[in-house]
């Protein structure tokens, strides 16, 4: 309920205070797990004074009702969170009341009245409305006294915490340094040195390739493979083989058509003509066999307008007379003239059809749906027999042939690839395939097959027949791959040499544009970067590198396709005058963070002083 009160009051101080209290409460909840002696109804104590469980239970129930009124059903975690909020509110009241009593702080009626008068939810035409006040309280399950007490607690909280945090401000020197770090802008000239444009070296001797193969054997090591036997019981795989009757299909199509009735539609080419004489001339030309393209061109000479109508329902054609004529005419004949509100119409119906799903499509969909339903029923019927057979240690290749199983045998790696690099031909969708591959590498060789549930109502069982550990491919077998890798490595080395020379030339005084041009490359200007910028299409290390460099200095970064040489060309230091809005926003944010820290320290001190304890067992009974 306190959350609702704070929303009405709109106090950021109150909101910060409540957030801090929740954090402190969670800490208590972790560190004070025991059953307290004393009052059996005390869910917590503050300075030795009990917090009655009924108070927390009532607040929790109100929050739970509000949650359910939003059409949501809270799970266990949500119920616990609501209970924690209710308990933290009750603890907060105790802490604040104790602190107020120690400091002799009270709340006069005038202060409460001022708060009530300022809450928009209780106002009518800008003034406090007692009837509206009572209505809002009833809607939230509160009495007037309960709400007034909560208002007093809020005012006390403000009186206690506001003097502590209000004067806290970040020093101007610190603010200026942080503003400078966040707002500093840097620009660079960038040169990309791609690998794929470097010349491909000629094939070296076998001795060179063998040395490369020996030094980079991880590149030529095959992964672990597993040879598996697999059976799948899946509605999706069985469905295409299910037999459904023509009567069932027709009944399903009829139901679909009843749910989505079709409407006659027609397509037509239409000429709108101003007078009968022009209409007669155009009609004669059209009936002689002129194409629609020619009639469109001819219409311009007679001030006529050509209008193609595509799959129109009768009520969609603006002219009633024209609509009636089009839906009464046969296809392919030039008709008219028809008198309408805008003159005369000539037309030719080009297509007659129905809106809604195509019947052939409906038949196919109905057949597939019926087959899937039948397959699902068959899977439900056969899965017990499959389970029994597996429990009896029946080998996978000797399972009954009438269960609708799909059997597969082959070798694959943890990525689902076969030794030749192709995808293992595991039937079914990607989810089923991924589940089977994962299970294959979680199963030990020789382990008995067990039935496992897969996605979309499927089941599968597998055995690992053989494990093939990672192995280095023989040089003769891998020679083509070794050559390609060696050539790629040489191209990378060449690009790296070019980039290193370019960086050296810039760092020894050559302008980057001139140094790049000498290498047949082009320098481009980067966007403006700040420390928070995430560069697009560039390495993530570019921005940190630029902000560690001096103006004119160059660096080199390896990219996914080559090397990037960047020279810092411009540094712009921000000032409060250059961006006053950002400066003010940063100042407010830093001040608020400092005030939050002070408020947290204040609450921690109250907690230590008042020795807050929580009866976790009694608390858990509230939401379980």
The per-residue pLDDT for 255 is 85
Separation in Å, CA 394 to CA 285, 401, 452:
82, 13, 16
Question: Which DSSP helix (H) or strand (E) runs through 155?
Answer: helix 144-165
Sheet arrangement for strand 42-46: 49-52, 42-46, 613-614
The per-residue pLDDT for 121 is 86
With a CB cutoff of 8 Å and minimum separation 6, the contacts of 610 are: 46, 47, 94, 95, 98
Ramachandran assignment for 261, one of left (phi > 0), alpha (psi -120 to 50 degrees), beta (any other): beta
> What's the length of the chain?
624
- Domain 225-243+362-469 falls in which CATH fold? Chitinase A; domain 3 (3.10.50)
Residue 281's Cα: distance from chain center in Å? 63
Peptide bond into 363 cis (omega under 30): no
Query: Alpha-carbon distance 32 to 39, whole Å?
Result: 17
Closest among 488, 483, 613 to 196, alpha carbons compared: 488
With a CB cutoff of 8 Å and minimum separation 6, the contacts of 471 are: 221, 222
DSSP-assigned states of every residue in 270-281: EEEESSHHHHHH
Q: State in words which class domain 2-167+599-623 has.
A: mainly alpha
The per-residue pLDDT for 35 is 40
Region 185-213+478-572: CATH code: 3.10.50
The per-residue pLDDT for 572 is 94
Q: Please, what are the averages of pLDDT over each run of 10 residues along the chain (624 residues)?
A: 37 37 38 47 89 89 84 85 89 83 84 86 88 85 82 81 85 91 93 96 96 94 94 94 91 81 88 88 91 90 89 89 92 89 87 81 89 92 93 92 92 93 92 95 94 93 94 93 96 97 96 95 94 85 94 95 96 91 91 87 83 89 87
Residue ranges of alpha helices (H) inside 410-449 are 430-440
Q: How do the domains of the chain map onto residue ranges?
A: 2-167+599-623, 185-213+478-572, 225-243+362-469, 263-355
The per-residue pLDDT for 39 is 65
Question: Which DSSP helix (H) or strand (E) runs through 312?
Answer: strand 305-312
Q: What percent of the chain has pLDDT over 90?
A: 53
- How many CB atoms lie under 10 A from the CB of residue 582? 14
b/e per residue 545-570 (b: at least 16 CB within 10 A)? bbbebeeebbbbbbbeebbbbbbbbe
Query: Alpha-carbon distance 138 to 148, whole Å?
Result: 14
Ramachandran assignment for 622, one of left (phi > 0), alpha (psi -120 to 50 degrees), beta (any other): alpha
Query: Alpha-carbon distance 306 to 269, whole Å?
Result: 7
Per DSSP, the three-state class of 168 is coil
Query: Alpha-carbon distance 608 to 52, whole Å?
Result: 21
Closest among 167, 166, 375, 354 to 265, alpha carbons compared: 354
State both tokens at 122.
């209780």
Query: Alpha-carbon distance 336 to 344, whole Å?
Result: 8
Query: Alpha-carbon distance 285 to 142, whole Å?
Result: 85
Q: What is the pLDDT of residues 434-464, one digit of tens each?
A: 999 999 999 999 999 999 999 999 999 999 9
Q: State in words which class domain 263-355 has.
A: alpha beta
The per-residue pLDDT for 353 is 87
In three state form, how does the secondary structure of 357-391 look?
A: CCHHHHHHHHHHHHHHHHHHHHHHHHHHHHHHHHH
Per DSSP, the three-state class of 105 is coil
Query: Alpha-carbon distance 325 to 434, whole Å?
Result: 60
Residue ranges of alpha helices (H) inside 392-474 are 430-440
State both tokens at 20.
């801090």
Query: Alpha-carbon distance 17 to 2, whole Å?
Result: 12
DSSP state of 34: B
Per DSSP, the three-state class of 480 is helix
Task: Give the angle 171-177-178 at the CA atoms, nearest 5°.
Answer: 90
Burial class (CB in 10 A: 0-12, 13-18, 19+), 535: middle
Query: Alpha-carbon distance 406 to 238, whole Å?
Result: 9
Query: Alpha-carbon distance 427 to 235, whole Å?
Result: 12
- In degrees rounded to 5, what are phi and psi of residue 552? 90, -15
Given this chain, do its domains 2-167+599-623 and 263-355 carry the same CATH topology?
A: no
């Amino acid at each position: 309920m306190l959350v609702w009160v704070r929303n009405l009051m709109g106090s950021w101080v109150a909101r910060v205070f409540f957030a801090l209290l929740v954090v402190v409460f969670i800490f208590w909840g972790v560190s004070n797990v025991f059953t307290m002696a004393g009052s059996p109804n005390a869910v917590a104590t503050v300075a030795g004074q009990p917090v009655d469980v009924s108070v927390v239970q009532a607040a929790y129930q109100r929050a739970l009702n509000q949650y359910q009124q939003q059409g949501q059903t809270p799970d266990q975690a949500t119920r616990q969170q609501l209970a924690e909020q209710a308990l933290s509110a009750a603890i907060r009241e105790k802490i604040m009341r104790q602190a107020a009593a120690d400091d002799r702080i009270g709340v006069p009626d005038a202060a409460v009245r001022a708060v009530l008068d300022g809450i928009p939810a209780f106002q009518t035409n800008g003034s406090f409305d007692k009837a509206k006040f009572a209505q809002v309280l009833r809607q939230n399950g509160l009495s007037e006294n309960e709400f007034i007490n909560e208002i007093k607690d809020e005012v006390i909280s403000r009186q206690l915490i506001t003097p502590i945090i209000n004067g806290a401000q970040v020093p101007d020197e610190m603010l200026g340094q942080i503003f400078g770090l966040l707002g500093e802008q840097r620009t660079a000239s960038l040169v990309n040195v791609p690998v794929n444009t470097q010349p491909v070296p000629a094939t070296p001797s076998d001795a060179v390739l063998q040395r490369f193969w020996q030094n980079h054997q991880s590149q030529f090591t095959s992964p672990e493979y597993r040879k598996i036997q697999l059976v799948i019981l899946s509605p999706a795989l069985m469905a295409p083989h299910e037999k459904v009757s023509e009567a069932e299909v027709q009944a399903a199509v009829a139901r679909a058509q009843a749910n989505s009735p079709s409407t006659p539609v027609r397509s037509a080419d239409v000429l709108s003509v101003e007078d009968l004489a022009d209409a007669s001339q155009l009609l004669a030309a059209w009936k002689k066999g002129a194409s629609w393209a020619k009639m469109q061109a001819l219409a311009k000479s007679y001030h006529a307008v050509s209008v193609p109508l595509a799959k129109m329902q009768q009520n969609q054609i603006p002219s009633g007379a024209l609509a009636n004529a089009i839906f009464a005419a046969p296809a392919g004949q030039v008709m008219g003239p028809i008198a309408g509100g805008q003159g005369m119409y000539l037309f030719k119906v080009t297509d007659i059809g129905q809106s809604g799903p195509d019947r052939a499509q409906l038949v196919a969909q109905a057949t597939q749906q019926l087959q899937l339903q039948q397959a699902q029923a068959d899977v439900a019927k056969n899965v017990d027999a499959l389970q029994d057979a597996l429990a009896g240690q029946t080998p996978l290749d000797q399972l009954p042939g009438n269960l609708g199983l799909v059997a597969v045998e082959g070798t694959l790696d943890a990525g689902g690839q076969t030794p030749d690099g192709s995808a293992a031909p595991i039937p079914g969708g990607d989810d089923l395939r991924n589940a089977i591959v994962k299970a294959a590498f979680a199963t030990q060789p020789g382990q008995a097959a067990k039935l496992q549930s897969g996605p979309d109502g499927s089941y599968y069982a597998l055995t690992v027949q053989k494990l093939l550990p990672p192995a280095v491919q023989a040089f003769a077998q891998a020679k083509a791959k070794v050559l390609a890798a060696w050539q790629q490595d040489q191209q990378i080395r060449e690009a790296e040499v070019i980039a290193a020379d370019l960086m050296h030339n810039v760092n020894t005084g050559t302008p980057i544009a001139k140094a790049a041009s000498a290498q047949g490359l082009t320098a481009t200007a980067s966007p403006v970067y700040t420390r928070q910028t995430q560069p697009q299409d560039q390495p993530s290390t570019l921005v940190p590198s630029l902000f560690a460099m001096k103006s004119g200095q160059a660096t080199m970064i390896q990219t996914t396709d080559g090397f990037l040489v960047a020279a810092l060309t411009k540094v712009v230091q921000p000032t409060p005058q250059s961006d006053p809005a950002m400066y003010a926003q940063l100042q407010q944010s830093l001040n608020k963070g400092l005030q939050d820290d002070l408020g947290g320290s204040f609450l921690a001190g109250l907690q230590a002083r008042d020795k807050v304890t929580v009866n976790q067992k009694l608390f858990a009974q509230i939401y379980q």
